Amino acid sequence: MSNLQKEDFSAWYIQTIKQADLMDYSPVRGCIIFKPDSYEIWEHIQEAFNLRFKEEGIRNAYFPMLIPESFFTKEKDHIEGFSPELPWVTEAAGEPLEERLALRPTSETMIGTAFSDWINSYRDLPYEINQWANVFRWEKKTLPFLRTSEFLWQEGHTAHEDEASARERTMRMLEIYKETIEGLLAIPVYSGQKTPSERFAGAVDTYSVEAMMKDGKAVQAGTSHYMGTKFAEAFDIKYLNRDNEHVLAHTTSWGVSTRLIGATIMVHGDEQGLVLPPAIAAKQVVLVPVGPWKKKTEILERLEVLSKDLKAAGVRVLIDDSDNSPGYKFNEWELRGVPLRVEFGPRDLTNNQVMIKMRDIEGKEAVSLDGIVESIQTALADMQTRLLETARKNRQQHEYTHIETLDELKEHIENKRQEGETPGFVLVGWDGTDETEEIIKEETGFTTRNIPFDPIVEKKTCIVSGKLAKHTVWLARAY
């Protein structure tokens, strides 16, 4: 078997998501269909975040999708950032509209307008809400899950009395993103601050969690923005403070999207196809009767009991009792990423055992039928932990911290190319100017990912100018 994942990661990705029946293309450019197995991943992501948001006292709401053009023009940086990507509704019910309506790319303008009405006094603050919604960004290059014209996301929006409280919320959500992405999706992330050129359009500060795919490229997995009073000024979000003065609120916004599905596939998938963390797999366990099982009805009966017991314990399980060969079934469920396979045949029945194959480990293990439900639950929990550890190790192997100059970076990239290896993430010193950042991008295709809060190494000099480094920053190619 050729190693498609290593040789052509993009081709591997497309093949994997098609074979695993996760998506289909639609006739509208860059819009995909989320088939049930990918949509269920999204549902598990939603559940996990809703739980965390609720703990924080943040409630869900829903705002109109269509945004009048005049809303966008109120915040200059915001419209500049988003206008190149907006689709516009210009007619409805057979008549031209008086004002064009944008399909939301994000809802700061709509929610800012509402906040302006709803927030009057410091007693109304903090005002903290979230919405789950579809959003639109008409981008030139698209890639299923990772960059689509329409995608699904959550966007949280909060307003606060002062900078300290707004910044606390900004950082807290970044932390929740890190914990949930690592815990649920088993994807290790780097937390840090985006450089000014990579900030959200209209933000004062943008923070991100960045993940490394198996090909060494980066996915920005979640962002959290401190807006200062910029949006409050543009949308007139003022409140009566404790000193009876009308002052501007400080706002934040933060989001994760269906690109997390793509990141999960690119972090855990292997040559056999999809590998899903148990926490989000639509099916966690597949039960496959093997050997001459049709001649012995007890085989299927025992599997049906096991299936019932597993379901009662909250495990998502299915039995594959189709006429396909065991080999065909094994392959089918492996490429769909089912975390754990149970094989059970007449010999196993005699030995009071099942054979268990974990999706991420070579070889099978005989496991006693006594306490089998607990054994399976433990195996799933172990796999969840192991996937994160494995992803951490993979990531560590492609972190480079020794590069001091632009020439060394180019040499590094060229060397890795010749080795058929990824150049990975490179930690460098940066003088903090737009100019040197732009030079890095133009000459290497690498972009700044973020300025990590706890860099594994502190870099002293700027990779381009050789001047004293203002920041230590992660560079990588990015999706």
Give me the residues that bind a second copy (CB under 8 A), please: 24, 26-28, 31-36, 39-40, 42-43, 59-68, 71, 83-94, 100-101, 103, 110, 113-114, 117-118, 129, 133-134, 138, 140, 150, 152
Q: Are strands 317-319 and 285-289 parallel, antiparallel or unpaired?
A: parallel
Run of H or E residues at 323: none
Q: Identify which of residues 88 and 453 has a Cβ nearer to a second copy in the complex.
A: 88
Report d(CA 453, CA 192) in Å as an integer: 5
Q: How far is the CB of 107 from a second copy (least distance, A)?
A: 10
**Eight-class DSSP state of 126:** S
Burial of 66 (0-12, 13-18, 19+ CB in 10 A): middle
422 vs 412: CA distance, rounded Å? 10
Q: Which residues pair with 152 in a beta bridge?
A: 134
Residues near 442 by beta carbon (within 8 Å), at least 6 away in sequence: none
The phi and psi torsions of 397 (rounded to 5 degrees) equal -70, -15
Beta carbon nearer to a second copy, 117 or 301 = 117
Q: Which residue, 342, 314, 52, 32, is CA-closest to 177?
A: 52
Shortest Å, Cβ 63 to a second copy: 5
CB of 29 to a second copy, least distance (A): 9
Minimum distance from residue 441 beta carbon to a second copy (Å): 22
Choose between 60 and 229: whose C-beta lies nearer to a second copy. 60
Distance CA 415, CA 410 (A): 9
Q: What three-state secondary structure class fits 141?
A: coil
Residue with Cβ nearer a second copy (36 or 445) = 36
Query: The dihedral of CA 206, 255, 284, 359: what is its sign?
Result: negative
Nearest distance in Å: CB 42, a second copy = 8
| Nearer Cβ to a second copy (64/445) | 64
Cβ closer to a second copy: 63 or 466?
63
Least separation, in Å, of the C-beta of 363 and a second copy? Answer: 33
Report residue 390: phi and psi, to 5°: -60, -45
In whole angstroms, how close is the CB of 401 to a second copy at the nearest point? 39
Cα–Cα distance between 297 and 67 in angstroms, integer? Answer: 62
Cis amide leading into 126 (omega within 30)? yes
User: Between 134 and 385, whose beta carbon lies closer to a second copy?
Assistant: 134
Q: What is the closest distance, in whole angstroms, from the C-beta atom of residue 174 to a second copy in the complex?
A: 23
Complex with a second copy: residue 59 or 460, whichever CB lies closer = 59
